[in-house]
Structure 1
Amino acid sequence: MEWWNSDYYIRSIKLLKENIPSFSEYPFSLEVIQNLNSLELHPKVTYIVGENGTGKSTILEAIAIAYGFNSEGGTKNFNFSTTETHSNLYKFLRLVKGITKPEDGFFLRAESFYNLATNIDNLDQETLGNKIIDSYGGLSLHEQSHGESFFSLFLNRFSGKGLYILDEPEAALSPSRQMSMLSRLHELVLKNSQFIIATHSPIIMAYPDSIIYEIKEGINKVKYEDTEHYIVMKSFMNNTNKMLDILMDY
């Protein structure tokens, strides 16, 4: 029996609504949180998609912190804090875990990746032994373009048998790099990895063996072709001139 049919790292999450003191304050005032009870996670890849401000990153962040990751990203060994901006949603989540524990793990936040890179450089300046950056490709993430540093992380730091939580990983990646990321994601899935990803990219959310949850009047499981991101992008690419005429009011 394949590993993902018998055990994986996070099976589901449950919102402990009975412990929430008030639904009038953020993030509990978000419509998606008010309608959330539990989410089954795919053993390979789970996507959370939706418009800006709907709460997908808030949910992803809460899952990561509840699992033990630093709120600004990195592995469980990172404990730096630049600005305390995370919500307390994680305190009200119960993670249903599998028997097997991951041997690797990483929480990637596009918005705080710069802070992560800085922390790695600072820690490496304080050590005389092996450098942290060696496991990220050997070159300071600040000495690469934003896209190169993101991709270096996927290629070098992610080793398999891991839980990888990614918040908008497409932020620094060109379309061709996003396709390369899909290929790397598949390699890591074959090495017994589980991904939870919040994204706007129709390319990144195309991985076939996955669950897609779309936040839209609640949170619902949808097919790839039924996501608003896919529909809008397909319509624009197939009718570019007509869409431009509408958008520019010609």
Structure 2
Amino acid sequence: MYLRGVTLLKDKMSGRSEYPFSLPLINRMSTLELKQNVTFFVGENGSGKSTLLEAIAYGCGFHTAGGGRNNAYHVDASEAALGDYLRLSWLPKITTGFFLRAESFYAFATHVDETGLTDVYGGKSLHSQSHGESFLSLFTHRFHDRGIYLLDEPEAALSPARQLALLRIIKDLSETSQFIIATHSPILMGYPDAEIISFDTSPISAVDYEETDHYQITRRFLENRGAVFRHLFEDDD
């Protein structure tokens, strides 16, 4: 492990109430300790997990629209709103890694084409591949040993089979690299021995896989989707 802890600088936030200081995250967290090489941030939309991940990317020196330390391109609204209010604790500090931001991946792929970096990503334009194929090309060719990899909702472009392929890549690198992943995917967060941090608890804390809403709702749906639909649509009767 490299990144051992994340601390919100609450004294620096004093008197602030606008976004991102209005997020539930601000009241639910002071210091978050990271105890595993693979950590998942989970929680409802608006809980602050992606905002925190983006701020960690900022603290790592990564491009906050997606990329590593050496990727420079402009994307509107890509600044890390919480970046200056975070302290990262390292042992040791590393500078190798990548931040995947699913919602701005198109801009990153354009940057790769414009700068002639396609060889780094398998020799084929990311734009010439399907969304899922381009994500896997990134994971396969850009992720290496001794790095920290921050992934914001990577399942957005991945079929269930390709989510499993990502888990294999994580497994191959996890002995020497660290992964922090914000996700809604019950497939991804089922990775063995990962730490799952719930942003829906107060304070933010680790939970078991089976305790997550993602697992429980998916299991209930798969086991008896008819009952789920009856409950969901009962107001229409």
TM-score in terms of structure 2 length = 0.94
Give yes or no for the alignment of 1:94 onto 2:79. Answer: no
- C-alpha separation between the residues in 2 aligned to 1:85 and 1:189? 28
The answer (yes or no) to whether the contact 2:151–2:182 under 8 Å persists in 1 is yes
Aligned position for 2:97: 105
Q: Give the match's secondary structure for 1:187.
A: helix
Letter in 1 for 2:92: I
- C-alpha separation between the residues in 2 aligned to 1:233 and 1:121? 38
| Superposed displacement of residue 217, structure 1 | 4.2
Aligned position for 1:238: 223
| Superposed displacement of residue 88, structure 1 | 2.8
The answer (yes or no) to whether the contact 2:127–2:134 under 8 Å persists in 1 is yes
- C-alpha separation between the residues in 2 aligned to 1:148 and 1:216? 32
What residue ranges of structure 2 are gaps of 5+ in the alignment? none
| Superposed displacement of residue 87, structure 1 | 4.0
Give yes or no for the alignment of 1:167 onto 2:152. Answer: yes
The answer (yes or no) to whether the contact 2:51–2:81 under 8 Å persists in 1 is no
Q: Give the match's secondary structure for 2:32.
A: strand
Aligned position for 2:111: 119
| Superposed displacement of residue 17, structure 1 | 0.7
- C-alpha separation between the residues in 1 aligned to 2:174 and 2:223? 32
| Superposed displacement of residue 195, structure 1 | 0.3
Q: Give the match's secondary structure for 2:179.
A: strand
Percent identity, aligned pairs only, is 49
Q: Give the match's secondary structure for 1:12.
A: strand
Give yes or no for the alignment of 1:31 onto 2:16. Answer: no
2:10 to 17, 21, 27: 17
- C-alpha separation between the residues in 2 aligned to 1:21 and 1:245? 48
1:19-42 Cα shifts (integer Å, max 9, x gaps): 113241111111221221011113
What residue ranges of structure 1 are gaps of 5+ in the alignment? 1-7, 125-131
The answer (yes or no) to whether the contact 1:206–1:224 under 8 Å persists in 2 is yes
The answer (yes or no) to whether the contact 2:36–2:195 under 8 Å persists in 1 is no
Counterparts in 2 of 1:43 and 1:100: CA distance versus 1, 3 Å: farther
1:216 to 178, 196, 200: 200
Letter in 2 for 1:180: A
- C-alpha separation between the residues in 1 aligned to 2:150 and 2:70? 15
Aligned position for 1:53: 46
Give yes or no for the alignment of 1:83 onto 2:76. Answer: yes
Give yes or no for the alignment of 1:189 onto 2:185. Answer: no
The answer (yes or no) to whether the contact 1:23–1:34 under 8 Å persists in 2 is no
- C-alpha separation between the residues in 2 aligned to 1:212 and 1:230? 12
| Superposed displacement of residue 100, structure 1 | 5.3
Structure 1 residue runs of 4 or more that deviate by more than 6 Å after TM superposition: none
Aligned position for 1:127: none
The answer (yes or no) to whether the contact 1:166–1:196 under 8 Å persists in 2 is yes
User: 29-38 vs 221-230, which deviates more?
Assistant: 29-38
Letter in 2 for 1:110: A
1:127-152 Cα shifts (integer Å, max 9, x gaps): xxxxx211211110000000000011
- C-alpha separation between the residues in 1 aligned to 2:80 and 2:60? 15
- C-alpha separation between the residues in 2 aligned to 1:179 and 1:195? 15
Aligned position for 1:201: 185
RMSD between superposed Cα atoms in Å: 1.4
TM-score in terms of structure 1 length = 0.89
- Provide the aligned length of Structure 1 versus Structure 2: 234
Give yes or no for the alignment of 1:247 onto 2:232. Answer: yes
